[in-house]
Amino acid sequence: MNPKYAPLFQGLTLNNGVTVKNRLAVAPLTHFGSNPDGTISEQSPIYVGMDRMDCRKQISKDLQEAGLMEKIEDYVNKVGYSERNPDTAIEPRLSLQWFLKMKHFADIALPPVINGELKFYPPKYVNTYRNWLENIQ
């Protein structure tokens, strides 16, 4: 749960016995289902360990039972789906990222190809490789 929405939950006792008392009662989640396996992480004091899909349904149910749900309506939303599994929606997951500066590696990797020490088959890919390494950023 995002702390921005915590005031909606103040005083609400959820089915796991946790009562949201104030804004600080809900730890911020960087995204829904922050564990790599799609379950709710320890960052949240409620719904911990629940699958994100089950959790969404449970939150909706809890809001309805507390009288905080105004309405539910279907709407069309453009959601990306996996090429490998067309039934799986693509959901963003925040994670640490790292990058390497590749110029140094390009300077090492290009000369053996240009000097003929390494061969490409078919040879036409030498130009593709050269173009890629000479224009690396």
Q: Dihedral, CA atoms, 12, 18, 19, 21, nearest 10 degrees? A: -120
At 27, the pLDDT band (50, 70, 90 cuts) reads: very low
pLDDT at 105 over 80: yes
User: Under 8 Å CB-to-CB from 50, ≥6 apart: which residues?
Assistant: 39, 40, 58
How much of the chain, in percent, has pLDDT values that exceed 90?
23
Mean pLDDT of all residues in 3-27: 49
CA-nearest of 51, 62, 8, 5 to 28 is 5
Q: pTM of the prediction?
A: 0.45
* pLDDT for the residue 1: 45
Structure tokens at 130: 């050269």
